[in-house]
Structure 1
Amino acid sequence: MAIKRIDIEQIRPHIVNGATILVPNLRIKDAITAGYLDSLTKNVIPTPKIYAVDVFILKCWSKNARLGVAPCANLQPLSAVEEFLVWHEIIESSLTDIPLLNPGETASVVARSYQTSRQWLDPDILNNELRANSAIKDIAVFDKWTLQFKNYCDKYQRISLVDCTKELSKLLEQKKLTYFPKKTVLVNFYEPPPLYEHFFSVVPQLESVLTIKRKPNDKIPKVKINFSSPESELRHCANWVEDLLAKNPSAHIGLITCNKLLEQRQLEQLLADDFFPNGMLANIDDQAVFNTTSASRNLLDAPIIYDGLLLLSLGQDQHNTEDICRVLQSPYLSFSDEEPENRFNLVAQLQVKGSSTISGRDISYLASSKEKAYSCPSFSQKLVEVRTEIRKIKNLASPLVWSKVFEAIFEILGWPGPIASNKEHRFLIQWDKLFSEYKGSSKLMAPLTYSKALAKLRLLCAQDKQHKPFDSSLALSYYTATESIGLEFDYIRFLGLNDQQWPEPVNPSPFLPYDIQKTANIPGSHNDIQISIAKKQFDQLIRSTRVSIQASYYSTDGEQNYRPSSFIKCFVEHKTDAVQLQELSNKATRQFNSLPISTIIDESARLEVEDSLQGGASILSDQSACPFRAFALNRLKAYSPPRLEAGLSKMARGSAIHIALEYLFAEIRNHGELTSQTENQILELCNQAAVKAIEYLSLNHRDIMTPKFQLIEQSRIKKLLRKFVQVERNRPPFQVLAREQAFTQQFDNFVLNIRIDRIDQLNDGTLALIDYKTGKYSVSPKGWMDERPKDMQLPLYHSVASASDISPIDTVSVAHLHAEKIGHSGISASDNFSHQVRSIGSQKGTEMSWSEVTKSWSSKVEYLAHEFNQGVADVNPTDSTATCTYCGLQSLCRIQELSSNKLNIITKASNDDPSNQVS
């Protein structure tokens, strides 16, 4: 049985008689077309003349232009893309006088304000009001921009859609049009803007049809349901839809949302999971679940389009490192199967460098490096071809010329590659249309640089919403209240109908005087207008529903509390069972609940001889902080990508400081030499050490270390060293015994390699281990006393050095070199190291002696090493907040899915049942 979206019987006679049907939007057009075709028995019929009113106006203008009617023949209508680009060009040209953070968004708002003013306001009244309010900067600027827009259109003989409508109205009044339909029927126009009202008033032989005339049916059930959260409301809605369609597959169900932008994606996922139960991961892009106006995402969000624009950016001088990593792994390239391992190695190399940006020169240098694991000669060659193609154009060119360059680059890089899905095919169709309109804008645009041309194309993709084609077989329609007017439904479900979202909040245009907006009853301009519109729309939707109406709302969202909208106060309160939110798909949940599942707790995977590995102090630190992290990082090599940073990374700065300190304390070998140096000598030594650091940075970060930046960084390092030298001067006498001292220790099947930054001998003959830290925060020495310390570095250093006959070690210290913290922190057996490091006897929180502390460290090292060898890998962070924050392995360990109860059960079971430990 066909889905009834509109009463086609009232419109059928007009279609049969060949009348031109005008509707407010494409939704009504699709509903009429689908309803009419479903009611026919013939396979071949004349195409019904059904048009959205704006499409009809452009069609009428075009036909009269071909027939030589002025001004239709003299002025070409602007497409939506062209109109946006004109506004954007005007706004960009005024940025020196009017600084704006987002010219693209401003252009969209200004374009809408212009359209609104032409649709709702008399031009003479508007001009007077703009002049009267010229003291308000936004209004004065809008007046200026509007004048520039009109001059732009006059210069290039163009006209906007709203101005087309006004001019057609004049031509109809004057009876100067050569072409216009003999019979025109309006369908479901409820209170159109004055511009369209005037247009309709002069259309000859016009008839109007309103398909929804019935009075509200008081017998239709109207219920309201309260939910604790938005998630539970949407889950219940999906279950409700599934039940309805099981009983009546041909019912037309309207989901009327108050917050489309935030709800759509989640609701699509829930419905897809219910509609396609055999899919472990429902693909909501390939399998539509409802008809709606547009996707919640724009065209730029489509991976195939996003990657295509990234490929075009390869011709620029500077790049975002993450973008280059994405390009190297993109499947939308014809050469995606070439040198795949090398490209992945190049990604890893870029991530190790740690910089958020990279120059085109550096990319080419790395990709063309011979005999390197990350050498990508094919990719390097294509980069050369891309730059060559761009250099063929000398600096400035039109969008049409640059479009040919873009196409050449796509051909070089093989974009879009093989098309794998229907959704990608849809995206490419939408892209082709937008790209064609971009080419056509050349006559309106001044010559552009390559970067500017690409930026405008990217901006258009960001403005264009992903298209969702109408599917007459879908029973669900997901619209806002405004979008739903004119359609009919069997069932309606209002979503999120709370007092904050319905009536819709006021949203006046910032570029039009508020008083004139209110006087003209422009939607969104005032609370009274919003309430009036909401009442009419609510009444209209009630009258358009045949079977039942539900309204739901959530009472809390985070810390915000909500009440139901006053519009549903007379609805009957309906109590529903608590909604169970599930983390897995329906298929996975059914399998989990139906298939026989054997629970085997096996938390160990012993490190065998053939799997032996080497590593640093981080192995034991990870094992102590969270055994799973140690296993994942060191056994599985499951590293999360490092966080890329703007400019020099913290790691690079830290390495440079280490190099500087190594040089400095090669020149200053003891406390006596330090105190005997004059101030100028100390400054010179610090400067020489800073130069060593800069040489290292310049070699490894050529793009960042410009001459100016070298001077800045050298000055910064020099100041840090100078402050640290002063701290060292204030210490009791010491002698530097070793710098960057390497040690190795075997723990069964793995080897630890460590390097201690400095070893000092104090005046009592004891030794101190010093580790340099350049970060703002570091582990507190008190943490070393914990049963499982978060950081085992210095306890491990003490244990390994002691085992290597480096003794007696009575101090372990962290030397801090950060602008906000210069000095030492640590633990010592006495007060001989520094006044900043207190002896163990004066430390709070412990009653252990130095000997007991160091023995406990050795025991912990042995225990953690044994755990790692045995393969203990339970998800058991010492501090879930601190340990997990920067771990990056949450998707692997899935700690969020493990409640504390589950963790306790697993831990208890593994402790109680030794047979579960598989070696």
Structure 2
Amino acid sequence: MTLKIPEISWQQCFDRLSDGAVLVTVNRRLARSSAARYAEYRLERGETAWQTPDILPYGAWLVRLFHDLLYSVPLGEPDSRVQPVLMDELQEKLVWESIIAESEAASRMIDVYATARMAQEAWRLCREWKVQVGGGMAWSAPDPAAFSGWAESFEWFCRRSGFLDRARLAEYLSAPAADGHISGVPELILAGFDELAPVQMDLFSAFHAAGTRVCRLAWPVRAGAAVTLVAEDDAAEIRAAAGWARRHVEADPGARIAVVSPRLAADREAVCREFEDALCPNAILSSHPPDRQMFNITAAPGLSAYPVVAAAERILDIAGRQGTEVFEWSRLLRSPFLAGAETEFGARAALDAQIRAHGDLFFPVTGIIRMARSLAGKSATDPDLRILSAVLEKLRTLARGMPARQAPDQWTETFSGLLDAAGWPGQRNLSSREYQTVSAWQQGLEAFARLVPVSDPLSRSEARRTLSRMLSETPFQPEQPDVPVQIMGMLEAAGEEFDALWIMGMHHEIWPPPARPNPFLPVSIQREQGLPHSSPARELAYSRQITNRLLCCADEIICSYGGSDGESTRLASPLIDHLEQARGPENGVGYWRQMQESAEIESLADIAGAGVPPGGDVPGGTGIIKSQALCPFQAYGRYRLGARGLEIPEQGLNARDRGILVHRVLELLWNQICDHQRLSAMSDRELNDGIAEAVECAIRKLAGMRPDTFTDRFTRVETDRLHNLVAEWMAQERARAPFAVKESESRMHVRIGDIGLYAFADRIDALDTGQEVIIDYKTGTPSPGDWFAERIAEPQLPVYSLGLDREPGGVLFARVRKGEAAYLGIAAADGLFPRVKGIMDDGRVAKDCESIQEVMAQWEQKLFILAEEIRTGHAAVSPVSENKACRYCDLAPLCRVWEVSRT
């Protein structure tokens, strides 16, 4: 006979709690709010002290019953049944993963861990809804058949080991509850249960049969009017809800405001951002999140998402790896949760910049220690990184002593030792949120240690992988005092009452949700026995029940949805289409938007910085001239202020590194060959031998600085690439008129107007005519036309040519590029360079110039203008074009060019 559960009111519930009844809630949230509501009830009666009411969420109540049963048999009295060991969730998960990983089906799986989670959920459904696993045609399909085998293995493991899993706990407790072996429960009050699974009903029936009264807390019924509101899109909907919540809090700080959404997990980040902007505007002014917020949101992130835990995981990973990615080192060096973080803050920032500039993507601990020591003493104001070096040395020593394999509880001790050596969680006082997070981390380590009964000894990587996965899958949210605004999912609002409620996402695409039957259970059986998510009809009925309940739990109710997803128009959910439609939402305006929209912004055209003393030198060589031509502010910020963004390392070699290698190989090669006559006399074999020697020497030098990049395989590939590239280029050199290499990597001090700077030329050749030719190697796609733009965008060779005693016989780019090798530029006469015409015959490059002398005069005039701008401190944000000046510039946060362009 089905148990009929009577309903009682909150007032009756409070009276019975005072008499020893147990209130069992559907979730933790309702348990907390019920306890708070009970406290208000006692305070209203003028009481100042009372016995704590017995209020527990369903899962915690089952565990307590299990322990009560364990200690209910007197010592020395034999019991007819041996009490099993209750598994925790992590232990169960690991057993399922092990069973599935060792099965034949594992080889066909993309993600064993995701499969294990789904199989564990299927097992829970089977136990709660009394589904018999296996047998019959329905279980012959591949997925149900595989699950049937896994379930059999799981049951066998539990029986052999004396374990009881959580899915069977209610079933296990039913018999002793009916026999009266679980005493001390005069009355059970159920709260927030939209439905009861068969096994839950059996358990409550067992208590009822043993004499325990079982009743249900009546759903709240409020006479509030509900309306529908359509926003432009999802973002506008969230913003409107946040503004609505703020207005309610301002009108009545003690009101209970709730926002409910069926898609909260997916929208959590956007919801947090908009509600923080609306309700906690001061958070934008602080580098740390405030300890107390005005709202609380469920769909908590995993524990590993919190910075203090992420830092702990990073320390453990770095200690155990041969090499760690630069970006991970960067995060650790800037972390406040490492010993000496505040003392050595500036020096660690400098070290971060140095390892990024080094070029390697991975660094071992020893490499960072070496770089930290090399940085010591370079600045009299910065500490010498002694604390960091000592921490890394300790980690390296401990890592060396780690065993190859050990049990989870031993790994827990090892990991704790590594964190202690690193000074985690840092020297500063932790905030309340951080303190709670550290406590949750400790609990996570304890849970990991409890894996010993179900786990073989683990390697370091296996232990870290298991712990990391556990932390990422453990939802955590720091507790805080009561807040006026609660943001939650549809099921989490069960049994709650509010003064005002906003239900988001109520459009036809997601509410009611589509059916999602578990793939490991036969669909026919799921539908026949009415399992959750098994059919559209069941989802509709269940969603209608939830909707009706929500529409009766507040005095003011708004149901909203975004009218468009950017591609298609949405309709209201059929479960709310009977509601009256309200006018469009008032968009919430956050703090920073208010500041922007209300402030009267003063415009100040400050385009000049400090000038250069007459006759003084400027830093940066021709780079400052190039930047001045592209954008005056870029030149001032980069070369006068020294502002530069952090380097972004790449895998292997970046374009700059490859260019440096080409320059070095050609320099070494021409140091051997010296002139065109010897080049022409060399056989192909001799030339190839010379190229090979130069390539080997150039790579050896760079490989010595970056051994992690230059593995044997990478070195072979890069050697072949360089050899082929240079061999192709030397064919261009052979086709030239006779010449001799006069200088390589030449440096010259040049004065332009009232400023001095250093200019560089990759090579200067002497021709038979007695003239000199200036050459600049380029591995990209240079354009000589940049020399003749209104503002010279490639000034290196023009500046160098102005420093010569006489006009050059040619100024050229040497384009050393696979399949595109060529000389580009201007020459005094035809035939000096392959496919380069004399200046008299080539009007494409040096327009309006009939001689190199005229070219030089034009360059001098344009360079003088740029030099004068530099001397006077002209620093206007005036890029010649976004593509040329701004595309690779890292000063945008300083010059705010994008903000300026929008005004």
CA displacement at 1:277 relative to structure 2: 5.1
Instruction: Determine if the alignment matches structure 1 residue 133 to structure 2 residue 102.
Output: no
Instruction: Determine if the alignment matches structure 1 residue 796 to structure 2 residue 796.
Output: yes
Give yes or no for contact 2:746–2:762 (8 Å, CA) kept in 1: yes
Give yes or no for contact 2:257–2:498 (8 Å, CA) kept in 1: yes
Instruction: Determine if the alignment matches structure 1 residue 463 to structure 2 residue 469.
Output: no
CA displacement at 1:37 relative to structure 2: 0.7
- Give CA-to-partner distance per residue, 1:509-562, whole Å, 9 cap, x none: 4444445444444444554444443333222211223233242425244x6664
Report the counterpart of residue 424 of structure 2 in structure 1: 415
User: Among residues 212, 215, 218, which one is paired with 1:211 in the alignment?
Assistant: 218
CA distance in 2 between counterparts of 1:529 and 1:762 reads 90
Report the counterpart of residue 321 of structure 1 in structure 2: 326
Report the counterpart of residue 461 of structure 2 in structure 1: 451
User: Among residues 691, 710, 713, which one is paired with 1:686 in the alignment?
Assistant: 691
Report the counterpart of residue 807 of structure 1 in structure 2: 807
Instruction: Determine if the alignment matches structure 1 residue 635 to structure 2 residue 640.
Output: yes
Question: SS of 1:291's equivalent?
Answer: strand
CA displacement at 1:621 relative to structure 2: 2.7
Question: SS of 1:752's equivalent?
Answer: strand
Question: SS of 2:168's equivalent?
Answer: helix
Instruction: Determine if the alignment matches structure 1 residue 55 to structure 2 residue 65.
Output: no
Give yes or no for contact 2:96–2:116 (8 Å, CA) kept in 1: yes
User: Among residues 619, 631, 638, which one is paired with 1:614 in the alignment?
Assistant: 619
Instruction: Read off the aligned partner of 1:626 and give its amino acid letter.
Output: C
Report the counterpart of residue 910 of structure 1 in structure 2: none
User: Among residues 603, 609, 614, which one is paired with 2:607 in the alignment?
Assistant: 603
Map 1:426-825; keep pairs closer than 5 Å: 426-469=436-479, 471-472=481-482, 474-557=483-566, 562-576=570-584, 579=587, 584=592, 586=594, 588-589=595-596, 592=599, 599-609=603-613, 613-731=618-736, 734-746=739-751, 751-760=756-765, 768-774=773-779, 778-788=781-791, 792-793=793-794, 795-805=795-805, 807-818=807-818, 822-825=821-824
Instruction: Read off the aligned partner of 2:279 and give its amino acid letter.
Output: F
Report the counterpart of residue 261 of structure 1 in structure 2: 265
CA displacement at 1:332 relative to structure 2: 1.6
Distance 1:831 1:702, change over 3 A: same
Farther-moved stretch of structure 1 (175-184 vs 735-744): 175-184
CA displacement at 1:757 relative to structure 2: 1.8
CA distance in 2 between counterparts of 1:145 and 1:80 reads 17
Give yes or no for contact 2:246–2:279 (8 Å, CA) kept in 1: yes
Instruction: Read off the aligned partner of 2:812 and give its amino acid letter.
Output: V
Report the counterpart of residue 5 of structure 2 in structure 1: none
CA distance in 2 between counterparts of 1:93 and 1:372 reads 56
- Give CA-to-partner distance per residue, 1:841-878, whole Å, 9 cap, x none: 66769954365666554444333333333333333333
CA displacement at 1:493 relative to structure 2: 1.6
CA distance in 1 between counterparts of 2:870 and 2:494 reads 65
CA displacement at 1:187 relative to structure 2: 1.7
CA RMSD of aligned residues (A): 3.6
Report the counterpart of residue 160 of structure 1 in structure 2: 165
- Give CA-to-partner distance per residue, 1:122-154, whole Å, 9 cap, x none: 033x565674012x5xx5554454444444434
CA distance in 1 between counterparts of 2:829 and 2:121 reads 75
Give yes or no for contact 1:490–1:547 (8 Å, CA) kept in 2: yes
Report the counterpart of residue 907 of structure 1 in structure 2: none
Instruction: Determine if the alignment matches structure 1 residue 193 to structure 2 residue 197.
Output: yes
Distance 1:9 1:371, change over 3 A: closer
CA distance in 2 between counterparts of 1:568 and 1:761 reads 87
Distance 1:132 1:736, change over 3 A: same
CA distance in 1 between counterparts of 2:717 and 2:247 reads 68
- Give CA-to-partner distance per residue, 1:566-592, whole Å, 9 cap, x none: 444444444447748668265x55983
CA distance in 2 between counterparts of 1:343 and 1:802 reads 43
Distance 1:674 1:533, change over 3 A: farther
Distance 1:641 1:250, change over 3 A: same
Report the counterpart of residue 4 of structure 2 in structure 1: none
CA displacement at 1:435 relative to structure 2: 1.5
Report the counterpart of residue 220 of structure 1 in structure 2: 225
Distance 1:583 1:890, change over 3 A: farther
Instruction: Determine if the alignment matches structure 1 residue 236 to structure 2 residue 236.
Output: no
Map 1:206-355; keep pairs closer than 5 Å: 206-212=213-219, 214=221, 220-227=225-232, 229-276=233-280, 281=285, 284-295=289-300, 297-316=301-320, 317-355=322-360
- Give CA-to-partner distance per residue, 1:776-801, whole Å, 9 cap, x none: x5454455554456xx33x3322332
Distance 1:210 1:40, change over 3 A: closer
CA distance in 2 between counterparts of 1:279 and 1:361 reads 39
Report the counterpart of residue 911 of structure 1 in structure 2: none
Farther-moved stretch of structure 1 (485-494 vs 857-866): 857-866
CA distance in 1 between counterparts of 2:235 and 2:778 reads 45
Distance 1:481 1:681, change over 3 A: same
Report the counterpart of residue 23 of structure 2 in structure 1: 21
Give yes or no for contact 2:613–2:871 (8 Å, CA) kept in 1: no
Instruction: Read off the aligned partner of 2:107 and give its amino acid letter.
Output: I
Distance 1:349 1:693, change over 3 A: same
Report the counterpart of residue 881 of structure 2 in structure 1: 879
CA displacement at 1:749 relative to structure 2: 7.7
Instruction: Read off the aligned partner of 1:805 and give its amino acid letter.
Output: D
CA distance in 2 between counterparts of 1:392 and 1:263 reads 45
Distance 1:797 1:14, change over 3 A: same
Runs (5+) with no aligned partner, structure 2: 1-7
Map 1:323-402; keep pairs closer than 5 Å: 323-369=328-374, 373=378, 376-402=385-411
Instruction: Read off the aligned partner of 2:251 and give its amino acid letter.
Output: K
CA displacement at 1:305 relative to structure 2: 1.4
CA distance in 1 between counterparts of 2:80 and 2:457 reads 29
Question: How many positions carry a matched residue from both structures?
Answer: 875
Instruction: Determine if the alignment matches structure 1 residue 85 to structure 2 residue 94.
Output: yes
Instruction: Read off the aligned partner of 1:314 and give its amino acid letter.
Output: I
Report the counterpart of residue 914 of structure 1 in structure 2: none
CA distance in 2 between counterparts of 1:442 and 1:750 reads 74
CA distance in 1 between counterparts of 2:363 and 2:757 reads 34
Give yes or no for contact 2:360–2:651 (8 Å, CA) kept in 1: yes
Farther-moved stretch of structure 1 (888-897 vs 11-20): 888-897
Give yes or no for contact 1:334–1:414 (8 Å, CA) kept in 2: yes
Give yes or no for contact 2:259–2:501 (8 Å, CA) kept in 1: yes
Give yes or no for contact 1:656–1:696 (8 Å, CA) kept in 2: no
Give yes or no for contact 1:224–1:571 (8 Å, CA) kept in 2: no
Give yes or no for contact 1:130–1:143 (8 Å, CA) kept in 2: no
CA distance in 1 between counterparts of 2:757 and 2:262 reads 59
Report the counterpart of residue 909 of structure 1 in structure 2: none
Give yes or no for contact 1:189–1:210 (8 Å, CA) kept in 2: no
Farther-moved stretch of structure 1 (202-211 vs 606-615): 606-615
Give yes or no for contact 2:25–2:56 (8 Å, CA) kept in 1: yes
Give yes or no for contact 1:77–1:159 (8 Å, CA) kept in 2: yes
CA displacement at 1:358 relative to structure 2: 1.1
Distance 1:7 1:636, change over 3 A: farther
Map 1:839-858; keep pairs closer than 5 Å: 847-849=847-849, 855-858=857-860
Report the counterpart of residue 40 of structure 1 in structure 2: 42
Question: SS of 1:640's equivalent?
Answer: coil
Distance 1:498 1:170, change over 3 A: same
Distance 1:128 1:718, change over 3 A: farther
Give yes or no for contact 2:30–2:494 (8 Å, CA) kept in 1: no
TM-score of the superposed pair, with normalisation by structure 1: 0.86
Farther-moved stretch of structure 1 (161-170 vs 92-101): 92-101
Instruction: Read off the aligned partner of 1:607 and give its amino acid letter.
Output: G
Farther-moved stretch of structure 1 (105-114 vs 631-640): 105-114
CA distance in 1 between counterparts of 2:395 and 2:487 reads 44
CA distance in 1 between counterparts of 2:167 and 2:679 reads 81
